[in-house]
Chain A
């Protein structure tokens, strides 16, 4: 069975600083990988996804992520964080088969200091 690990429960960065959120997955085949963001009291919004091809993928709001098969990682990055990026971030892996089920990590809460 696939699994996703987000080792950082909580991260604090200063506005304008760079950000990297870690995600490691366990899956036997080529995974479909996702990053979602959840603002307080809201549902989840897709930031970006990786299915195949170029291992560096660009998403919305200036985020990018790099798929590294050798490290089983799909880390999320942003060069310069804005205060509005404060939210919870979830990494997810997709399992092929019916219904396109996703397995989510436990999330990383990002706090941005001014």
Chain B
């Protein structure tokens, strides 16, 4: 089992560019999550998906969109990147409350 995988691991964007962060899990979990991690702020929930076909906003959704492509995959899209979106992004999945995290994507927006 690979668990939760994320691509890419690193990305540099210019302001205004778009990109999609990919996440996949092979644990057959219903729920998936996107977080961002910034120094001194812990992890903040961007969007989550309770099950295939549903998505909901978390604490900091502005500037992001998500797609739950199927049960395995949950992508995060930045339509027009801004320097404030420079962060480390983590995807997670869970069946109950125990969440399993991917290795993260380090994104820099210049």
What is the interface of chain A, defined by CB distance below 8 A to chain B?
A: 9, 32, 34, 36, 41-46, 49, 51, 90, 94, 98-102, 104-107
Cβ-defined contact, B56 with A105, below 8 A: no
* B49–A99 touching, CB < 8 Å: yes
Task: Determine the main DSSP class of B at the interface with A.
Answer: strand
Chain A residues within an 8 Å CB radius of B4: 43
Do residues B101 and A45 form an inter-chain contact, with CB atoms below 8 A? yes
Q: How many residues of B contact A (CB 8 A)?
A: 26
Min Cβ gap B32→A in Å is 9
**CB 8 Å contact bits of B71-110 with A (1 = contact, 0 = none):** 0000000000000000000101010111111111000000
Question: Per-residue 0/1 for B29-54: is the Cβ within 8 Å of any A Cβ (1 yes, 0 no)?
Answer: 00101000000111111001110000
Q: Which residues of B contact A36 (CB under 8 A)?
A: 101
